[in-house]
Structure 1
Amino acid sequence: MDDQDRSRLGVMRDAEFIRKFLIGLGLLVLALLLWKLSDVLLLAFGAVLVAIILHAAADGLVRYLKVPDRWGLMVAGLLILVAFIGLGAIFGTQVRAQFSNVVERLPSAVDNFSKNLGIGPVSDDISEMISNASNGGLAARLAGIGGTILDGLANFLLVVIAGVYIAADPKLYTRGLVKLFPKKQHERVESSLDASGQVLRLWLTSQLIAMACVAILSTSAYWLIGLPSPIGLGLIAGIMDFIPFLGPILGALPAILIAFSVSGEAALWTMGAVLVIQQIEGNVIQPLVARSMISVPPAMALFAILVGSILFGTLGLIFGFPLAIVTYVLVKKLYVRETLGEQTEVPGEDRGKEDSPQSTVS
């Protein structure tokens, strides 16, 4: 090999090294960008969930009430809006009063519980910390709390509005996402998105029905036990049930703490009611509302929620499980089946043709 060939080979090696270096650097920059935008991406995922809910409601109207396809989504959105406004007008004042009552009673309930454990009144220490804080510090804390609430409301409105836009033309966003991949992979990516959308739709539908049942059962049980503000406590239990595994525990804590402030007997009855309601949900409600259960391994789902909460905070805690569902579907379809060649059933894959007269958001 002469000097010219060696020089040419060296140039080629340098070019290959530079190419690999730039690819690695680009991937690193992309990972950092995604990390910085993680909150935005989670909100976008929440908007997709809203779109799936709207399409599920629209499909039900088209199938059972024979509403024309082109009007299904608009009628579904209007019905949901009217339902929220109607419930707010009928029960808004009572629910607000009961929530306020729960918030007022919680400090004394925590004190009562901590005294029973021999710890002493915890709220006294909190009051002392607040009284020792300077006015500027207290004002800053109050401003921070107010800002957090406003940010939460703004994010909620953003998710809802974006979800409506996605639901209006889901194929537009699906096609745009598919085009980010090489052309020969378009079919695989599109089928994976369809399967993910179907499994999310199935889970969301069953979860919303289960949440409503838990709220009704909890409210009835707390009213029979004699707890104050049973509607507020029941709504907390139903809303928190959206988070699998951890949600039922978090949703039951306010009721149990307030029950201890009433009496030991009420606390025992409340804990028994919580256990019975969770057994009813897991063994009766979920199998009835989900015709094809999503068999995500429980340990994997639990760790997904914990990891999501650690990495992304509240949004990660809320969306950890549905993200785990999507990851589970994609791994089974793209890696286990298509890369390794193993025969495996992919949740949601066979339900797209059965359940969706309209396009389903992926």
Structure 2
Amino acid sequence: MARANGASSSWTVATIRDWVFVILGSGVILYGVGYLLARMGRVLLIVILAGIFYITLSPFVDRLALRWRRPWAVLVVVLSAVVIVVGGGSLLGTIMTGQIVSLIKKVPAIVQQLSTVAPGVLAWLNHNDIHINILDIESRIVSNLGKVSSFVVTQALNIVTHTIGAVVDGAIVLFVTVYLLLDAERMQIAVLRLVPQNRRDMLLAVEHTLARVIGGYVRGQLLLSAIVGTAFGIGTWIIGLPYPLVIGVVAAVMELIPLLGPILGAILPVILTFFGRPLVQIPELAILIALVHLLESQVLGPRIIRTQVGLHPVLSVLALMLGAEWQGIWGALFAVPAAGVLVAAWVAGVRLWRERVVLPSQTGPDPRISAARSE
């Protein structure tokens, strides 16, 4: 009996000690990561982007490598991705530029039309001491558009500098991604040689978790973004709203922001609806937004995103807020997969700790070991 009490107390002390080590170690790691991110934000962003592109493209390279040599597979996949991004971006940019210029030219007329489209709204606002001067708003918009154009001209050098910097960063990301795709297997073998034999399975499990969470999230988010953008573009075209391509592209880009994407993507079509046939188009747009939201949140979202990341919606919101506070739009984009990786690592660590610490201490030593010691 005394021996059982002693074993129980020693197990309790060991459990408390292990939890203290886990909490302190997690705090030290988080502090170190935060310190590095604060000092090396741009470099780490390039590395993170290259890693994400590597994880995203790696399955396609692996499939082609079964038939071709790996360098050729990497070349085909990377060139295809570059052609799709650059070619598609150029085509969409050319079409969108014309539509955006046309939209900007019509802004004064749209604002002036507000007085005839919604006289009841203006009367109600004036009745409640909320006075709106349409002519004043129109003159301010026209003057601000002139200021924007002059600002663009005066800041042309800064724009060119930032553009060149973005191109250089993109080239570095592309180079690192190609290098990772070419030498991933050799680097993996080199890292495994540095790890003890009994720890290699755990390291491979961590690598598999990272690839599954990050790669699945990126591929799923891109697919979901394309579907939502296409649905918004086709839907607004059927309704009869102007600039459906701009609406679709904006909705697709906004969808990349977790949780808030559908709300942000619906702002532009809602605004344009008020300047067309609002009595007819507003109900139609409401139905379209509801259908897209149901498609994104109830059908595609759970299957494409949540099953890949395995993150509770509350944690997703907290991660989104922290990411946006830390690095703005980039932080918001990558906050959810980063949180998914941390949660997966935490679950794996707790499971391993229970298997190697808690359960052995509860069950006691193996009887065969005790028998061998007594001989």
TM over 0.5: yes
Q: Could you tell me how far apart the structure 2 residues matched to 1:215 and 1:34 are?
A: 33
Larger radius of gyration: 2
Deviations 1:267-312 (A, max 9, x none): 4432431221121133333466579553310111111111111111
The gaps in structure 2 that reach 5 residues or longer are: 1-26, 357-375
Secondary structure of the residue that 1:261 maps to in structure 2? coil
2:269 aligned residue (235, 255, 258): 255
Q: Residue 81 of structure 2 aligns with which residue?
A: 80
Are the aligned partners of 2:213 and 2:337 in contact in 1 as well (CA < 8 Å)?
A: no
More displaced stretch, 308-317 vs 48-57: 48-57
> 1:218 and 2:232 equivalent?
yes
Q: Residue 361 of structure 2 aligns with which residue?
A: none
Are the aligned partners of 2:309 and 2:337 in contact in 1 as well (CA < 8 Å)?
A: no
Distance 1:183 1:147, change over 3 A: farther
Secondary structure of the residue that 1:169 maps to in structure 2? helix
Deviations 1:166-224 (A, max 9, x none): 22222455567779989976653442122111222222222222222112211110101
Deviations 1:309-359 (A, max 9, x none): 11112221221122122122112112x2123559xxxxxxxxxxxxxxxxx
> 1:46 and 2:49 equivalent?
yes
The count of corresponding residues between Structure 1 and Structure 2 is 313
Q: Residue 35 of structure 1 aligns with which residue?
A: 38
TM, length-normalised to structure 2: 0.66
Deviation at 1:241, TM superposition (A): 1.2
Secondary structure of the residue that 2:266 maps to in structure 1? helix
Q: Residue 68 of structure 2 aligns with which residue?
A: 68
> 1:270 and 2:271 equivalent?
no
Higher RCO (C-alpha 8 Å, min separation 6): 1
> 1:327 and 2:306 equivalent?
no
Are the aligned partners of 1:106 and 1:257 in contact in 2 as well (CA < 8 Å)?
A: no
TM alignment of 1:169-318, pairs within 5 A:
169-171=183-185, 187-265=201-279, 266-286=281-301, 292-318=307-333
The gaps in structure 1 that reach 5 residues or longer are: 1-23, 343-362
Deviation at 1:98, TM superposition (A): 2.6
Q: Residue 356 of structure 1 aligns with which residue?
A: none
Distance 1:300 1:26, change over 3 A: closer
Deviation at 1:234, TM superposition (A): 0.4
Q: Could you tell me how far apart the structure 2 residues matched to 1:192 and 1:30 are?
A: 18
Deviations 1:113-134 (A, max 9, x none): 998675746675576678899x
Identity of aligned residues (%): 23
TM, length-normalised to structure 1: 0.69
Q: Residue 368 of structure 2 aligns with which residue?
A: none
Distance 1:263 1:191, change over 3 A: same
Q: Residue 373 of structure 2 aligns with which residue?
A: none
Q: Could you tell me how far apart the structure 2 residues matched to 1:138 and 1:208 are?
A: 31
Are the aligned partners of 1:243 and 1:321 in contact in 2 as well (CA < 8 Å)?
A: no
Q: Could you tell me how far apart the structure 2 residues matched to 1:315 and 1:84 are?
A: 19
Please give the root-mean-square deviation of Cα atoms over the aligned residues, in Å: 4.3
Specify which structure has the higher proportion of helix.
2
Are the aligned partners of 1:240 and 1:248 in contact in 2 as well (CA < 8 Å)?
A: yes
**One-letter amino acid of the counterpart of residue 320, structure 1:** A
More displaced stretch, 193-202 vs 76-85: 76-85
Q: Could you tell me how far apart the structure 2 residues matched to 1:215 and 1:75 are?
A: 27
Q: Residue 22 of structure 2 aligns with which residue?
A: none
Are the aligned partners of 2:209 and 2:344 in contact in 1 as well (CA < 8 Å)?
A: yes
Q: Residue 17 of structure 1 aligns with which residue?
A: none
Q: Residue 162 of structure 1 aligns with which residue?
A: 176
Deviations 1:94-147 (A, max 9, x none): 2332344456567876895998675746675576678899x8x88766655555
Deviation at 1:56, TM superposition (A): 2.9
**One-letter amino acid of the counterpart of residue 206, structure 1:** G
Q: Could you tell me how far apart the structure 2 residues matched to 1:162 and 1:146 are?
A: 24
**One-letter amino acid of the counterpart of residue 57, structure 1:** F
Are the aligned partners of 2:310 and 2:340 in contact in 1 as well (CA < 8 Å)?
A: no
Distance 1:37 1:177, change over 3 A: farther
Q: Could you tell me how far apart the structure 1 residues matched to 2:175 and 2:104 are?
A: 30
More displaced stretch, 202-211 vs 181-190: 181-190
Deviation at 1:155, TM superposition (A): 3.7
Are the aligned partners of 1:256 and 1:270 in contact in 2 as well (CA < 8 Å)?
A: yes
